[in-house]
């Protein structure tokens, strides 16, 4: 019998994603699921669910850890290559105490506290100054101005869970009320843009799995999910933020490189031209 807290996979989707059961309605025969590594909450018939064995779960975790670590290594390698190209590293060899770095600061609002803690761990590994707040998607817009005034971020991440409620109905795809949380994300983006209208002063990523990509960009997001209404990885917003944070302020962020830095890729994320937030300074203080 499937119960709350069980780890399951869906038969109808070929066991592609691992979920945790959030709630079970035995009268309706429906369970509410949350993706372990994708930003999705979904309803599923109980009889469509299979429990995942301990051995399969360990294998799944190893695969996910490898995917995440490989992505982080690629990001770190890319950053080193970019610094070499810009000549900063050779300058530091001649003047080891002159230069210091100031990547962009991140405020990350997340509707899921578990995902948020995972993201904050990766921010630290990537050397990004980030503050995280676990806020329900429906409350983000109301709290936006106060948070922006308090933390003054260069980059704002607005994410959590989402999903298309009625599938396989093409005419429903552009209706904002056909999404679990896209309307909340849109309202949050609009609130942030009332505070800071410039797309280069405050860079915004918004969305989660299957989010209404076009509506989020129209509301003022620089980057958003999901162009093809697919699932995105829980860490994708972090890798978007990293690319922006470490692109020099005198350069436009390469949209393709931003998306290539993520786990999901162009079907899951996209955006518009925006300036980077990385600065170097001198001299480096000895204190």
Mean pLDDT along residues 168-172: 62
Q: Is the pLDDT of residue 186 over 50?
A: yes
Of 15-29, 63-77, 130-144, 205-219, least confident by mean pLDDT is: 63-77
**If you count them, how many residues does the chain have?**
287
Residue 89: pLDDT band by 50, 70, 90 thresholds?
A: very low
pTM, whole model, 2 decimals? 0.88
- CA dist 94 and 81 (Å) reads 19
**Separation in Å, CA 151 to CA 100, 123, 193, 205, 274:** 22, 16, 16, 17, 21
Mean pLDDT along residues 191-219: 97
Q: Is the pLDDT of residue 270 over 50?
A: yes
Q: Is the pLDDT of residue 79 over 50?
A: yes
Instruction: Answer whether 38's CB lies under 8 Å from 209's CB.
Output: yes
Instruction: Answer whether 105's CB lies under 8 Å from 123's CB.
Output: no
């Amino acid at each position: 019998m499937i119960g709350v807290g069980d780890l399951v996979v869906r038969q109808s989707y070929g066991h592609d994603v691992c979920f945790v059961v959030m709630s079970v309605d035995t009268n309706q025969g429906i369970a509410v699921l949350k993706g372990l590594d994708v930003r999705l909450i979904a309803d599923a018939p109980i009889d469509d669910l299979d429990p995942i064995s301990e051995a399969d779960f360990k294998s799944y975790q190893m695969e996910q850890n490898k995917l995440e670590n490989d992505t982080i290594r690629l990001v770190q390698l890319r950053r080193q290559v970019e610094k070499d190209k810009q000549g900063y590293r050779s300058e530091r060899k001649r003047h080891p105490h002159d230069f210091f770095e100031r990547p962009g600061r991140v405020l990350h609002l997340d509707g899921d506290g578990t995902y948020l803690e995972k993201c904050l761990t990766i921010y630290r590994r990537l050397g990004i100054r980030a503050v995280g707040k676990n806020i329900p998607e429906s409350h983000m817009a109301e709290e936006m101005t106060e948070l922006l005034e308090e933390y003054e971020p260069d980059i704002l991440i607005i994410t959590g869970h989402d999903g298309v409620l009625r599938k396989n109905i093409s005419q429903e795809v552009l209706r904002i009320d056909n999404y679990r949380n896209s309307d909340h994300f849109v309202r949050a983006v609009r609130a942030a843009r009332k505070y800071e209208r410039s797309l280069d002063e405050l860079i915004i990523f918004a969305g989660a799995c299957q989010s209404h990509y076009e509506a989020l960009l129209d509301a003022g997001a620089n980057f958003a999910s999901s162009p093809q209404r697919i699932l995105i990885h829980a860490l994708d917003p972090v890798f978007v933020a990293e690319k922006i944070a470490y692109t020099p302020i005198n350069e436009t962020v390469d949209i393709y490189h931003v998306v290539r830095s993520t786990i999901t890729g162009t079907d899951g994320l996209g955006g518009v031209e925006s300036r980077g937030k990385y600065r170097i300074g001198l001299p480096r203080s000895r204190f």
